[in-house]
Amino acid sequence: MPIIAHSRPTLDQEEVNAVNAVLQSGQLAQGQEVLHFEKAMASMIGVDGAVAVSSGTAALHLALLVLDIGEGDEVAIPSFVCPALLNAIRYVRAVPVLVDINPQSLNMDVHDLRKRLTGKTKAIIVPHMFGLPADIREIAALGIPVIVDCAGSFGTLSVFSFYATKVICTGEGGMITANDVQLLDRIRD
């Protein structure tokens, strides 16, 4: 039986040519390729703008900062997530609030989320686990800023990681997308 490689990027001559063009340009950071990528990503997601950053964790961190989340604020996350969410929350000295997951979808259980919300809850980070969409509309209806981790345009901000194991792989990097251009300008600043 053939082995299906887990999270192995598919790279061909088109990617090799694109990397060579960047290397030959001498512009290894920022520049026109990054602007093109931001515009293409915003268009694909269907939002007003995007900001490329160094990693998915940096995207999470900046999203929390731009929403003015800080010491003592609570951020709800599912109990089954990668440590990057916890790290970003700790970077801003906020308190992670772990929410049970739905055993069928492995996504955040909205009923448990409602029970854990307090006056200190300033954001909810919602990943979509293993390609199964979380119930963003129901979560967004709670009236608390939602940071969607790695898919869609339903939240206040959406963050992406382009690490080697991600659906879109650039080797490293991350991005934040949004319809709120003022938030994106603050992130870029």
Domain boundaries, the chain: 49-188
CA atoms within 13 A on the CB side of 93: 4
List beta partners, residue 121.
74
Long-range contacts of the stretch 146-151 (C-beta < 8 A, 24+) = 147/60, 147/63, 147/64, 147/67, 147/123, 149/56, 149/60, 149/85, 149/125, 150/56
Give the CB-side neighbour count of residue 96, counting CA atoms within 13 A: 20
User: Could you tell me the pTM of the whole model?
Assistant: 0.88
pLDDT of residue 149: 87
* Confidence tier at 35 by pLDDT (50, 70, 90): very high
Q: Which band of pLDDT confidence, cut at 50, 70 and 90, is reported for residue 85?
A: very high
pLDDT band at 81 (very low <50, low <70, confident <90, very high): confident
Three-state secondary structure call for residue 108: strand
Query: In angstroms, what is the C-alpha Rg of the chain?
Result: 17
> What is residue 152's predicted lDDT score, i.e. its pLDDT?
61
Signed CA dihedral, 58, 107, 168, 176: sign only: negative
Q: Catalytic residue positions? A: 166
Average pLDDT over residues 82-98: 95
Task: For residue 164, report the phi and psi dihedrals to the nearest 5 degrees.
Answer: -60, -25
How does pLDDT run across 104-138, given as a tens digit for each residue?
Answer: 999 999 999 999 999 999 999 999 887 788 988 99
Fold of 49-188: Aspartate Aminotransferase; domain 2 (3.40.640)
**DSSP-assigned letters across all residues of 10-78:** ---HHHHHHHHHHHHHT--SSHHHHHHHHHHHHHHHTSSEEEEES-HHHHHHHHHHHTT--TT-EEEEE
- Asked if pLDDT for residue 156 goes beyond 70, the answer is yes
